[in-house]
Structure 1
Amino acid sequence: MIAGHWSVVVAGGRIAGATAAWALAPYAESVLVVDASQATSFWPQQSTWDREGNLLWQDLGLLEAVLACGAPRTYGHTLRVDDDVAEYEYPQQDGHSYRMTVPREVLDPALLRVAESRGNVTVARPARVTDITSRGGRVRGVTVRQGGADHQVSCDLLVLADGRLSHNADRLGAEPYRVVPSPWVALLAYFADLPLRPDRGYFSSQPGSLAISTPCGPGQWCVSTDMHQRLIDESGGHPARLFARITAEDPHIGPAVKVGRQVSRLGGAGKLRMQRRPMSGPGWCLVGDAGYHLDPVTARGTKSALVAARILRDRIAEIGGIDGTLLDGTLLDGLTEQRDAELEEDWVVAAELCQPAPVAS
């Protein structure tokens, strides 16, 4: 049964939501994850992280789960800038010094399953939070719609992990206080049987575009492009056509995709904007893109989601658990400042890439 009281309600069951549910479960009597997606959903997105991400996964107790997703570890990459090619090896500081890329339709369900393994985490799917109940200036519960019926749920803490366009964050009045529009359109597709090294990535930076191939599973690669909107406008065609042209003309990716097999449809996103919202308020918290969205051109969104989940977990652990004490909203004060300080370097890098710049035709 969904209706009733839960210690924690998490809206969204992807990276940020599943990770938050896992991390908070030891400090809660019960956790309800409300996820709108279908079990067979395909998301044209990937999750990429390096040593910092590996250390965060380990801190959260999820490193074994993400390694089990089967993505190979990469220890270096080839970088082509215009016609200049350079090889890079990653410094081997410790056993976490490698990069991984995992398709989201593989990683996200794996995280949701491991969260459920806690025993006190229940997943309602497909379902969505359609309204938020507040009394006395504090969130007290939500309305959950599942199977055409509405269920009234009360909770001690509401965690929103329902994406950068979170209507529930809008309902809370958690307005963005920093916004950077992005001129980039990101597209990707998955390929099998490419004649490329399974332990090495590839990046090609050309005027107005970035082409990437990364191993992301047994015999599988993600081929992606980031295209500046001005390049798309100058080409006069659909971004999908530009993706095909960029990949076909690349001297590394082109010959590979010509003999390999495309195993997913092409997808992606454009007209995005980076934004920061407040991370917490009386009885609520935002994790993942709902609270802090970085442009995917930098591949740092996974790190920001994990940082927010870890910060929230540590504060709840410091409080001593989730119970009626969270009626005092001040116990969650300071999370926004802590998150922003930890992620400032990532924000600056992404924001610089989103600044208007001339693009050669």
Structure 2
Amino acid sequence: MYDVIVVGARCAGAATALLLARQGVRVLLTDRAAFPSDTVSTHLLHPTGVARLRSWGLLEPLLAGGCPPIESISFRAADDLVLHGAPYACDGVAMSLAPRRTVLDAMLVEAAGAAGAEVRVGASFQGVVWEDGRAVGAEFGGRRAFAERAALVVGADGRHSAVARQVGAKTVRDAGTFGCQFYGYWRGLPDVGTQIFVGGGQAVLAYPTHDGDHLVLVGWPHARFAEVRQDIDRHFLAAVAAGAPAIAEHLTDAARSGRITGSGDLGNYVRESSGPGWVLVGDAATAKDPVTAQGIGDAFAQTQSLADRLPAALAAGPRAVDAATAAHTADRDRAGGAAFETTLTFAMGGNSAALLPALRAIESRPDLISMFYGIYAGQVTLEEFVAAAGQGATDPKA
């Protein structure tokens, strides 16, 4: 009945269904959750991801729905050094966004349905249907169990992907876990864009999101996760008070919206991502520490890559489908390799002291400050930035 079954309907899965359905592919999009619903996330979209939303016709609706554009970033690299600049532009887009996942995911699911994908929520994935060693469909439980067949099964079901387990996708690289983070929402913070404070073995971030709220986030080394989660509120507020006192004064109980949440499940890995009749996208395929906040943008890039290849391959048959998914995976690894290594360097805390001379050198250069922010977006390598800053002898990975 279907060309493609997508398991998981958040950023990676819903975007995959949307782009394929717009090209006439018969798509079944499934998720055990209903929408709108929340999930743990940094929320942040660099201009690379914002540019994709624009190209998909979804940026204007998101902005019209109250997601504030973020057009400036301040980065406190030391007590005497704060860098002020704009996000690093991509395809003429020089803004970031931090949409609530209740809004972004629901918008993508709705758009996929409007494009012609069939959406079934409350559908709990149970297993892959196999035929002669090839995935040919999927089985689901829930209030009404069902099974469907398709030429391709897409696993977009996150870090603990059940599809990945079912198809036996091996972890081809496990780079470890280095951080943990928690965040909450508060009203009344001044809207001055993204604010980043690093130092003392932790990072504090604040940026605007929907409904007049700011997301305030604290990141610690993973070694502190067990300690922090014993009393999240106390550790969180103490960290903000120590690292960003100008933010802390706004974090009153009256201004707070909901509880503080987060995760220590922030491993860096790459899984085998394609095989006969199946492919993985998003965090099901590969994930890296959210210190660079590239997760949503990575998901969008992967879905665009896959959607560009699949319609013609589906028309040509199973071998062409498998060749297309293998080519997609290989291109993803080539394109994302440098950003993966940079994220590991940042997650391990290897950037701070080594980068400080370069950061001091660009204090009065808004163009190079934006280029520095491009490192976090995966658009610029550490080496490219250090060379541009005139610090070519500095090894940022030392």
Q: TM-score, normalised by structure 1?
A: 0.88
Q: Which residue of 2 aligns with 1:100?
A: 97
Secondary structure (helix, strand or coil) at the match of 2:75 reads: strand
Bigger shift: residues 169-178 or 271-280: 271-280
Sort the Cα spacing of 1:346 and 1:92 in 2 relative to 1 into closer, same or farther, 3 A. closer
Q: 1:245 aligns with which of 238, 259, 278?
A: 238
Q: In structure 2, what is the Cα distance between the partners aligned to 1:142 and 1:296? A: 31
On the 8 A contact 1:279/1:335 being kept in 2, the answer is no
Q: In structure 2, what is the Cα distance between the partners aligned to 1:92 and 1:17? A: 27
Q: In structure 2, what is the Cα distance between the partners aligned to 1:356 and 1:76? A: 24
Sort the Cα spacing of 1:91 and 1:9 in 2 relative to 1 into closer, same or farther, 3 A. closer
Q: In structure 2, what is the Cα distance between the partners aligned to 1:82 and 1:262? A: 28
2:179 maps to 1:181 = no
The aligned amino acid for 2:327 is G
Query: As a proportion of its length, which structure holds more strand?
Result: 1
Structure 1, residues 80-138: CA drift from partner, whole Å, max 9, x if none? 234234142216857411111111112111111111111x2111111121110111222
Matches within 5 A, 1:262-273: 262-273=256-267
2:293 maps to 1:333 = no
Matches within 5 A, 1:55-204: 55-90=51-86, 95-118=92-115, 120-147=116-143, 149-194=144-189, 196-197=190-191, 199-204=192-197
2:11 maps to 1:15 = yes
Q: In structure 2, what is the Cα distance between the partners aligned to 1:315 and 1:70? A: 34
Q: Which residue of 2 aligns with 1:47?
A: 43
Q: 1:304 aligns with which of 288, 298, 303?
A: 298
Q: Which residue of 1 aligns with 2:394?
A: none
The aligned amino acid for 2:105 is D
Q: In structure 1, what is the Cα distance between the partners aligned to 2:207 and 2:45? A: 12
Sort the Cα spacing of 1:207 and 1:71 in 2 relative to 1 into closer, same or farther, 3 A. same
Deviation for aligned residue 1:28:
4.0
On the 8 A contact 2:46/2:297 being kept in 1, the answer is no
Q: 1:38 aligns with which of 31, 34, 38?
A: 34
Secondary structure (helix, strand or coil) at the match of 1:332 reads: helix
Q: Which residue of 2 aligns with 1:275?
A: 269
Structure 1, residues 308-332: CA drift from partner, whole Å, max 9, x if none? 101101112443xx34713552343
The aligned amino acid for 1:162 is D
The aligned amino acid for 1:355 is M
CA RMSD of aligned residues (A): 2.5
Deviation for aligned residue 1:254:
0.7
Deviation for aligned residue 1:208:
1.5
Q: Which residue of 2 aligns with 1:256?
A: 250
Q: TM-score, normalised by structure 2?
A: 0.80
Secondary structure (helix, strand or coil) at the match of 1:174 reads: coil
On the 8 A contact 1:7/1:28 being kept in 2, the answer is no
2:212 maps to 1:219 = yes
Sort the Cα spacing of 1:69 and 1:187 in 2 relative to 1 into closer, same or farther, 3 A. farther
Query: As a proportion of its length, which structure holds more helix?
Result: 2
On the 8 A contact 1:75/1:97 being kept in 2, the answer is yes
Sort the Cα spacing of 1:222 and 1:135 in 2 relative to 1 into closer, same or farther, 3 A. same
Deviation for aligned residue 1:66:
3.5
Secondary structure (helix, strand or coil) at the match of 2:4 reads: strand
Unaligned runs of 5+ in 2: 353-398
On the 8 A contact 1:188/1:268 being kept in 2, the answer is yes
Unaligned runs of 5+ in 1: none
Sort the Cα spacing of 1:65 and 1:275 in 2 relative to 1 into closer, same or farther, 3 A. farther
On the 8 A contact 1:78/1:85 being kept in 2, the answer is no
- Sequence identity, in percent? 26
Q: Which residue of 2 aligns with 1:349?
A: 342
The aligned amino acid for 2:347 is C
Q: Which residue of 1 aligns with 2:222?
A: 229
Sort the Cα spacing of 1:221 and 1:279 in 2 relative to 1 into closer, same or farther, 3 A. same
Aligned pairs, number: 348
Structure 1, residues 35-72: CA drift from partner, whole Å, max 9, x if none? 11133533232421222222222344433344344221
Q: Using CA pairs below 8 Å that are at least 6 residues apart, which structure has the higher relative contact order?
A: 1
Secondary structure (helix, strand or coil) at the match of 1:130 reads: strand
Sort the Cα spacing of 1:289 and 1:202 in 2 relative to 1 into closer, same or farther, 3 A. same
Q: In structure 2, what is the Cα distance between the partners aligned to 1:267 and 1:236? A: 10
On the 8 A contact 1:292/1:304 being kept in 2, the answer is no
Structure 1, residues 180-238: CA drift from partner, whole Å, max 9, x if none? 222211111111222x12x4111110222110100112411101111113345788953
